[in-house]
Amino acid sequence: MRKMALAAVLLGTAASMMPASANDALTKLSQDPNQWAMPTGDYANTRYSKLDQINAGNVAKIAPAWTFSTGVLRGHEGGPLVIGDVMYVHTPFPNIVYALDLKNDGKILWKYEPKQDPNVIPVMCCDTVYRGVAYADGQIFHHQADTTLVALDAKTGKVNWSIVNGDPKKGETNTATVMVVKDKVLVGISGGEYGVRGSMTAYDTKSGKQVWRAFSTGPDAEMLVDPEKTTEHGKPIGKDSSLKSWQGDQWKIGGGTTWGWFSYDATTNLVYYGTGNPSTWNPKQRPGDNKWSMTIFARDADTGMAKWAYQMTPHDEWDFDGVNEMILVDQDFAGQPRKLLVHFDRNGFAYTMDRVSGELLLAEKYDPAVNWATKVDMDKASPTYGRPQVVAQYSTEKQGEDVNTKGVCPAALGSKDQQPAAFSPKTGLFYVPTNHTCMDYEPFKVSYTAGQPYIGATLSMFPAPGGDHMGNFIAWDARTGKIAWSNKEAFSVWSGALATAGDVVFYGTLEGYLKAVDAKTGKELYKFKTPSGIIGNVNTYMHGGRQYVAVLSGVGGWAGIGLAAGLSEPTAGLGAVGGYAALSNYTALGGQLTVFALPQQ
Amino acid sequence: MRKMALAAVLLGTAASMMPASANDALTKLSQDPNQWAMPTGDYANTRYSKLDQINAGNVAKIAPAWTFSTGVLRGHEGGPLVIGDVMYVHTPFPNIVYALDLKNDGKILWKYEPKQDPNVIPVMCCDTVYRGVAYADGQIFHHQADTTLVALDAKTGKVNWSIVNGDPKKGETNTATVMVVKDKVLVGISGGEYGVRGSMTAYDTKSGKQVWRAFSTGPDAEMLVDPEKTTEHGKPIGKDSSLKSWQGDQWKIGGGTTWGWFSYDATTNLVYYGTGNPSTWNPKQRPGDNKWSMTIFARDADTGMAKWAYQMTPHDEWDFDGVNEMILVDQDFAGQPRKLLVHFDRNGFAYTMDRVSGELLLAEKYDPAVNWATKVDMDKASPTYGRPQVVAQYSTEKQGEDVNTKGVCPAALGSKDQQPAAFSPKTGLFYVPTNHTCMDYEPFKVSYTAGQPYIGATLSMFPAPGGDHMGNFIAWDARTGKIAWSNKEAFSVWSGALATAGDVVFYGTLEGYLKAVDAKTGKELYKFKTPSGIIGNVNTYMHGGRQYVAVLSGVGGWAGIGLAAGLSEPTAGLGAVGGYAALSNYTALGGQLTVFALPQQ
């Protein structure tokens, strides 16, 4: 009797005071267009907002409403969160987090600056970037460059708990954000250029205790795959799928890191993410398919067990990491309503898949410059079904070690890299920031030493032939595999897009412009030169009845590494400097938030 | 005959192709409201613009038009120049100069970054600030922290010539801008906290050859004073005026540095500037008046010879440098039209003088908190005529070495420091950014070692009693010595003001706001939170038919040194941290230009 009463009280309290789980609360927040509660906008990674106070008809009138300098230079990827009256802004290394008061032009409510060993900097592949913090249930989850994961009290910035996910001395670092799903925070790892063995780990949001960890390579049990139940193209992957695809113990230093964006679908309870390049970049040193590098994984959020996997680029020869975001949308495909997963891979192909079954529905080039493969084999009866058909001329393996394979398109940073695309359910189109670049790639033999670069190739990058530009901002139809419209950009569009119900799409440029274009036509409606080049992701929120659009400036990232790190020469293994050197004619280092709105009168 | 023909040709060329001298051209540029040709706005240091497209009626509608990150953190004092289609922007150490294309949202036309020994940084007293470059006759004059003066081709950024004005190993550095008068560039020196002997030097603009140098202390010949013709209060200063005012050789390490703003009046051909504190800050160690520290000098621009001098704070006991700008205006005073010089001194007194004769017309406190002196003796018959009447309680000398003299107002950074005031001929008022702070000051014995700090006092600064604010922005009537209106500011107003024909006055705040107030009433008409705290000087110009208002953000300077240098404790000799610590709740380091305009529709 007493027990029942207590249960009733608890139930009543729970129902009135809090949602059933943190996930429900976060889901609710992410569905409230007044907030920007997740780095990805929502679990589906659509980066779409229902707000339309700013729209195609009036966006030309927006202007900065307030600004904030982060006090840190170099590349500012990611974007701020907005929860109620507070904006959470992060910086690249040293990974400062600011809580800013939206009621007071961004007054600093608290600041958290971790003490990190600066020796982590040289171990970070491609600038000291960081893609931001996550929020759930009163906590800010902050994944530092040194792989320390900290849970901060969102009100005070005080540390609730802190754990360490990896070891920078072995080249394990972090650049990615994390994602909270129910009572777990999902955490990836960087270091594919240091022979790091990739993994995805789930920690309990309240205690920081590890719940599950799924490696990208190795024994089935360590990968959390079931040889019989985990499928690729609808078929079980079988026993030792990874071990059989590597020579000897190479899988132990085989990459497949997980530094991209994560997605989650509550209806299937599946988490989606991609794995990075196999180590080293010299394909001769790692015969086999190198599973499960370059793979899209669909995993059960509670157990981590993989439901399906799809290796897009078996035996990578170009550093085409598969980590780009999976965008989860429900659209008709071939006349049928489908639960789709759309993914714009570094390798230049856009994939449309059934996210429940893992069925590959479409794979088309989203930059006509792509030349390393003719197509992805879509013949289900073919033994090479789902595999790219590699062009021998651009096979760096066939060309061989110490041979400079010329003119591979795209360049190693891909037709798209970390810069996330957006999707508008109103137009049914995806808005994709792209790179329009090619490369020369020369693999060489390299030996592994823990914590030392394990790259094994030199490369140089340059604009795709016949053009005078290094980027395009495109609208893509994932149902047809066609570009709806395409805007040329002088440099790679390294910033993340935002689509809104106002039929406006926003993105930033490496020169520093925030641009607003018509979602239907791509017509430029507005541009503003922010202090520094933009590689951050645009977001939007409502506060006090006014819609705001916010973006971080701060040139850098892989495309801007020359400027960010003060390099004047292409560097071995990075090589991004060449084509992007002209950036220094447009912008200088910075670290600023600019918040736009319509004028108040 | 041949000679005459040649002369005629030369004369013809000169008359048709260029003005009679560089000075005429610069004067013309400085009078063209479309340009902002001098750091000070004009030779008179009025910082007044005849532009009125932006005015009290519409300034509420302005918004940022474009922005630019300098790529440098720490304090950004000074402001950019605008010559035609080009804006010249400088940074603190490492003293980068950018030429930005106004036709193209600030695209970088050229960048000049000197190589300087970073050991100059610890020798810079109060942040690594720099108050900007000067322009004349196709050259940009750039005075680096290490005292190297470089003449750059304004079109290309190429070095035409370069000379060295001082020796950082002896503590000689630069933070000031320079001023070009005719064919000479006037160059001051910093280092009063290192026992530097102050001087003003004129270099030939074409060759960099030294033309004259006038020390602030020492033998008459080295000071370029004429014992009979150089006057103070209308009387010859007499032989060895400086030597007699020091004990022994102390004048050799006696300060009187010249790191403030310079003015010039073509009608009298006089250059005006002030000298800084005597060294050390411990008054016991330097008996005497310590001439000519703390002095306004009026010197012949061609020869450097002093016409008159006025020592405002004989035998300084509080570090009240006299370097603040001299504003040259023609107003009626006591019913008579006079050529006035108006000066807001660190010591808290505003001086109105006849700039031709050096006659002292008025000296009144411009902050009621000032308590170290009751008044300046205005009785011409008195033996202490023109001298402040020091209050014994606040005499750090009388209180003695190793005694903490409490509650001296203003604090060492003065009722105003480098932050320049503006003057509007329309209202007849001066617009003055002020500090509203007091200090505890404890002198101690210190011995001199070249290049080592030679400070001799510790101090702590705090808000003036009875108030909750550390700054005021005031309108001052120099004819009556009265405050017309006063706006409270939470922190010192460390930014320079701009007055315009639109009856708007602009200034920046340490929190980062650009503010526009009504010139007649002080009513706030507009504010915008720029990325970082503002210690730069607001300017305005016209380009393509549109009026722009520009300002550098970048918190720092003496008031912001705690934030700029990452200090968490008051430091000996600087002591600014205490009262300003709360700044970190509002802003973080930065270095950005924000350019405002009215919307275009």
Q: Which residue has the tokens 């996930």?
A: A23
Greater pLDDT, A574 or A553: A553
Question: What confidence tens digit (pLDDT) does each residue in A166-203 have?
Answer: 999 999 999 999 999 999 999 999 999 999 999 999 99
Looking up tokens 């500011």 gives: B489
Nearest Cα neighbor of A38 from A108, A88, A106 is A88
d(CA B555, CA B558): 10
Phi–psi pair at A17, nearest 5 degrees: -100, -25
pLDDT tens for each residue of B60-98:
999 999 999 999 999 999 999 999 999 999 999 999 999
CA distances from B570 to A113, B153, B461, B558 (A): 21, 43, 9, 12
Q: What residue of A is the nearest CA neighbor of B591?
A: A590
pLDDT reported for residue A152: 98
**B113 and chain A: CB distance < 8 Å anywhere?**
no
pLDDT at residue B8 tops 60: no
Catalytic one of B127, B265, B319, B477: B319
Residue A424 clears pLDDT 90, i.e. is over it: yes
What's the pLDDT tens digit per position in A346-368?
A: 999 999 999 999 999 999 999 99
> Which chain A positions have a beta carbon within 8 Å of B106's beta carbon?
529
Closest chain B residue to A64, measured at CA:
B64
Nearest-CA distance from B554 to chain A in Å?
A: 9
Residue A556 scores a pLDDT above 70: yes
Name residue B419's beta-bridge partners.
Answer: none
Predicted confidence (pLDDT) per residue in B301-337, tens digit = 999 999 999 999 999 999 999 999 999 999 999 999 9
For residue B6, the SS3 value is helix
Dihedral (Cα; B546, B539, A107, B583), 10-degree rounding: 180
- Averaged pLDDT, A5-13: 40
> Does the beta-carbon distance from B64 to A66 stay under 8 Å?
no
Using the Cβ of A586 and the Cβ atoms of chain B, whether some distance falls under 8 Å is answered with yes
Q: What are the φ and ψ backbone dihedral angles of A589, each rounded to 5 degrees?
A: -60, 150
**Selection from A99, A95, A186 nearest residue A138 by Cα:** A99
Angle at B328 between CA B327 and CA B330, to 5 degrees: 135
Whether the CB of A66 is below 8 Å from some CB of chain B: the reply is yes
Predicted confidence band at A456 (pLDDT cuts at 50, 70, 90)?
very high
**Partner-chain contact B69 A599, CB within 8 Å:** no
Contact A587, A107 (CB under 8 A): no
> Is the CB of A64 less than 8 angstroms away from the CB of B69?
no
Closest chain A residue by Cα to residue B586: A107
First CA to last CA distance, chain B: 64
The pLDDT of residue B578: 64
Q: How far is CA A440 from CA A57, A396, A454, A456, in A?
A: 45, 10, 19, 14
**Predicted pLDDT at B126:** 82
pLDDT > 90: percent of chain B: 89
Q: Is A428 exposed, middle or buried (0-12, 13-18, 19+ CB in 10 A)?
A: middle
8 Å CB contact of A531 and B531: yes
> Which H or E element spans position A391?
none
Predicted confidence band of residue B571 (pLDDT cuts 50, 70, 90): very low
- The answer to whether the Cβ–Cβ distance between B111 and A553 falls below 8 Å is no
HEC string of B170-195 equals: HCCECCCCCEEECCEEEECCECHHHC
SS (H, E, C) B260-303: CCCEEECCCCEEEEECCCECCCCHHHCCCCCCCCCEEEEEECCC
Buried b (16+ CB within 10 A) or exposed e, A550-569: bbbbbbbbbbbbbbbbeeee
What mean pLDDT comes out for the span B248-275?
A: 97
The pLDDT-based confidence of B13 (bands split at 50, 70, 90) is very low
The pLDDT of residue B580: 84
Tell me how far apart the alpha carbons of residues A98 and A112 are, in angstroms, rounded to a whole number.
Answer: 6
Average pLDDT of span A102-109: 97
Positive or negative, the Cα torsion across A100, A103, A106, A110?
A: negative
Residue of A106, A39, A134 whose CA lies nearest to A496: A39
Across the range B370-384, mean pLDDT stands at: 97
| For A109, nearest residue in chain B (alpha carbons) | B585
Residue of A592, A595, A596, A600 to mutate, testing the B interface (most B Cβ within 10 Å of its Cβ): A592
Taking the C-alpha atoms of residue A20 and residue A6, their distance in angstroms, rounded to an integer, is: 17
Q: Tokens at residue A448, please?
A: 């592994």
Any CB–CB contact under 8 A between A103 and chain B?
no
Whole-angstrom distance, CA of residue B438 vs CA of residue B432? 18
Q: Which of B58, B69, B113 to mutate to test the interface with A (most CBs of A within 10 A)?
A: B69
Would you call A553 and B60 a contact, using CB atoms and an 8 Å cutoff?
no
As a whole number, the mean pLDDT across chain A is: 94
Nearest-Cα distance to chain B for A479, in Å, is 39
Question: Given pLDDT bands bounded at 50, 70 and 90, which one contains residue A601?
Answer: low
- Greatest alpha-carbon span in chain B: 80
Select the residue of B61, B69, B73 nearest A601 (Cβ to Cβ).
B61
What is d(CA B433, CA B493) in angstroms, rounded to the nearest whole number? 5
Going by C-beta distance under 8 Å and a sequence separation of 6 or more, which residues neighbour residue B413? B346, B435, B437, B461, B492, B558, B559, B576
For B432-452, write each residue's pLDDT tens digit: 999 999 999 999 999 999 999
Query: For chain A, what percent of residues have pLDDT higher than 90?
Result: 89
User: For A471-483, what is the mean pLDDT?
Assistant: 98
Name the minimum distance, in Å, from the CA of B334 to any CA of chain A. Answer: 46
Give residue A578's pLDDT.
Answer: 64
Q: Which residue of B107, B513, B553 is in closest CB contact with A586?
A: B107
Inter-chain contact A590–B592, Cβ cutoff 8 Å? yes
Q: Which one-letter amino acid corresponds to residue A337?
A: P
- Whether residues A66 and B529 touch (CB distance < 8 A) is answered with yes
- State the residue for tokens 């700044």: B583
CA gap A164, A174 in Å, rounded: 11
Residue among A412, A290, A272, A291 nearest A353 (CA)? A272
Query: How many CB pairs below 8 A link A and B?
Result: 111
- Residues of A carrying an active site annotation: 319
C-beta neighbour count of B389 within 10 angstroms: 11
Is the pLDDT reported for residue A472 higher than 80? yes
- Between CA B168 and CA B187 the distance in angstroms is 15
Find chain A residues with C-beta within 8 A of B553's C-beta. 69
Quick one: pLDDT band at residue A8, thresholds 50, 70, 90?
Answer: very low
Mean pLDDT in residue range B416-436 = 98
CB spacing of A594 vs B67 below 8 angstroms? yes
Tell me if ipTM is over 0.90.
yes
Q: Please answer yes or no on whether B531 and A532 come within 8 Å at the CB atom.
A: no
pLDDT at A592 over 90: yes
What mean pLDDT do residues A403-428 have? Answer: 97
Sheet holding A437-443, edge to edge: A405-408, A437-443, A457-463
Does A11 have pLDDT greater than 70?
no
* Residues 6 or more apart in contact with residue B544 via CB below 8 angstroms: B102, B103
Residue B529 near chain A (CB below 8 Å): yes
Q: How confident is the model at residue B466 (pLDDT cuts 50, 70, 90)?
A: confident
Q: What is the pLDDT of residue A574?
A: 46
Q: B115, B592, B595: which to substitute to probe chain A, counting the most A Cβ within 10 Å?
A: B592
Task: Give mean pLDDT, residues B510-530.
Answer: 98
- pLDDT tens-digit map of B164-219: 999 999 999 999 999 999 999 999 999 999 999 999 999 999 999 999 999 999 99
| % pLDDT > 70, chain A | 94
User: Closest chain B residue to A96 measured between Cα atoms?
Assistant: B588
Of B61, B70, B528, the CB nearest to A588: B70
Interface of B with A in 67-86 (CB under 8 A): 67-71, 73
Q: What is the pLDDT of residue B601?
A: 63
Residue B399 is inside which H or E element, if any? helix B396-399
